[in-house]
Homo-oligomer: A and B are copies of this chain.
Amino acid sequence: MAFFRRKVQFNDDLGFGSTPVIKNQRVLNTDGTPNIERTGLPWFKFDDTYTRLVTMSWPRFFMVILITYLIVNTLFAVAYNIIGIQNLDGAKGITLRDQFFDAFFFSAQTISTVGYGHISPQGFITSVLAAFESMLGLLAFALATGLLYGRFSRPTSKVSFSKKMVIAPYQNRSGLMCRLVNLRRNSLIDIEVQMFMTYNETIDGKLKRSFYPLELERSKISVLSLNWTLVHPITDDSPLFEKSLEELKVAEVEVFVILKAFDDTFAQTIHTRTSYQDEDIEWNAKFEIMHYHNEEGKTVLDYSLLDKTLPTSIS
């Protein structure tokens, strides 16, 4: 009563669990992150602060810094006013509003350690607070450095996968193919790829989520200089053998690709993943060739062709 033929049984849920999925539910999002919601703990128990600050987008990161800077300076401005604005020598504000801003700008000059000195602290308590604030500025530098460096140096791959998979002719049969390029100038070396398929399947009368590896014609290359087309030949052994698009839809098929490589510039191993659902698979199409040799003895790789497919027919 199994949906697919399977000569290659795969007794492994890869860590995703074997509960069957609801309509169109993905195991992986297209960016390769697991499609999971986490609950049951207070937010501060999830230890994600550094990870979040490092992985959030640049505009959002700068907003967080700017807002923190405003809040901290506001708090110190209030504190300097409570202690007494007369302790800020050179502050000329008369109204409460002006006095707040005098203290606010003094605070900014202190925490950034710019310290022009046209406003300067007098009296014991104000001097202590200013000394403390400049130490805080020192740590703020350090923090910002750590975060920025963490963001920069994170060994992210910029491997770009084609948006679609194709089912194209391959060695008198057909093959399921996708392709990929490296958006960075870094060489990627010792690249290894695995392809898996997951779908709902009834086993012993129980609906389960099954996982099968899709054998690749070639799963490892030494250097990723050009584009690389991954080919799963649809042989008798393939779980895709003689399946129709309709059957794939019903079984909520998802194909995912896991890539591991060594980044030569930063000497670190990177991982990346992507996933395709039934609507991402183009039948009877093939990829256009992406690279050629030019006159000046260079190989030219045209990235704009990555997703470009041509119609073809499988004999």
- A residues with CB within 8 A of B: 12, 14-17, 19, 21-26, 33-41, 45-48, 50-52, 54-55, 65-66, 69, 73, 89, 101, 104-105, 108-110, 112-121, 124, 127, 130-131, 134-135, 137-150, 152-155, 158, 183-187, 189, 191, 221-226, 228, 258, 262, 264-271, 291-295, 297-305
Contacts and interface: CB of A to CB of B under 8 A. Distances in A.
Nearest to A145: B142
Main secondary structure of the interface of A (DSSP, over half): mixed
A262 B271 contact: yes
Nearest to A112: B134
Contacts of A48: 184-185
Contacts of A120: 116-118
A145 B135 contact: no
A191 B267 contact: no
Contacts of A292: 19
A36 B46 CA distance: 30
Contact of A148 (B89, B109, B146, B294): B146
Given A105-B127, A154-B265, A303-B40, A47 B149 contact: no
Nearest to A38: B301
A302 B39 contact: yes
